[in-house]
Amino acid sequence: MGILSWITGSRAAPAGVRRESVAALRKRLLALNRDTAPFVVRDGKPEGVDLVAEWKIVDARWFEIFAKAGVQRVFKVLMKFDEARGVVRSADQEWSVEWRAGVPDLSLAASGFRGQSWEMSYESVHAFREDGSWGEVYSYRFNTSEIKGPLHKAAAEGGWGWKGVSFGRL
């Protein structure tokens, strides 16, 4: 990897780990899906890539949490497998979100952002509860590493490297 790998989030394949097939890597990444995760990994065919990981912002169980959090931007990680080099090439796409009556309305950000993105936000709200007691009503924490961390780990466990792409072809 290059001198600026820390900026792009690129990582070399771990030494001593046998690289598994594309099919096995795909299965490994899709296995990250679980009901309690705020993101989903899905087929990327509509976007012209192998896989996509994105916030579950339109999932009925999650959009209220995102709405309360006032999340203005969400993103998705586009992934393509470069079998010849043994790396997962990734680019982030950022979207703007407008909330209408507590329901998300997604639209592509006017900036047309593509590259690598890191974002972290946290909020805790305290108020009087229905029983009259004072305390935490809700709290949230969103961090792009909640998506990227498990993706990087899964790729490394399969013997693959990770290459963040900001410019050029994915």
What CA–CA distances, in Å, run from 49 to 23, 73, 140? 14, 22, 31
pTM: 0.69
Contact 64, 43 (CB under 8 A): no
Q: Dihedrals φ, ψ of 42, to 5°?
A: -140, 170
Domain borders along the chain are 5-164
Q: Which pair of structure tokens corresponds to residue 74?
A: 């969400």
Question: Residue 67 pLDDT > 90, yes or no?
Answer: no
% of the chain surpassing 70 pLDDT:
60
Q: Tens digits of per-residue pLDDT, 69-113?
A: 555 556 789 999 999 999 999 988 876 656 555 555 554 443 334
Q: Tens digits of per-residue pLDDT, 9-66?
A: 678 889 999 999 999 999 999 999 998 887 899 999 999 999 999 877 655 455 555 5
Q: Tens digits of per-residue pLDDT, 108-149?
A: 443 334 445 555 555 566 677 778 888 776 565 556 778 889
Q: How many helices (H) and strands (E) does the chain have?
A: 4, 9
Rounded CA-CA distance 138/125 in Å is 6
How far is residue 29 CA from its own chain's centroid? 12
In the chain the beta strands, taken as DSSP E runs, fall at 39-43, 51-55, 73-82, 87-100, 103-108, 114-115, 120-128, 134-143, 161-164
Give 11's DSSP letter.
Answer: B
Q: What is the pLDDT of residue 93?
A: 81
Rounded CA-CA distance 6/36 in Å is 29
Q: Which residues pair with 106 in a beta bridge?
A: 97
Rounded CA-CA distance 87/33 in Å is 21
Q: What is the pLDDT of residue 129?
A: 73
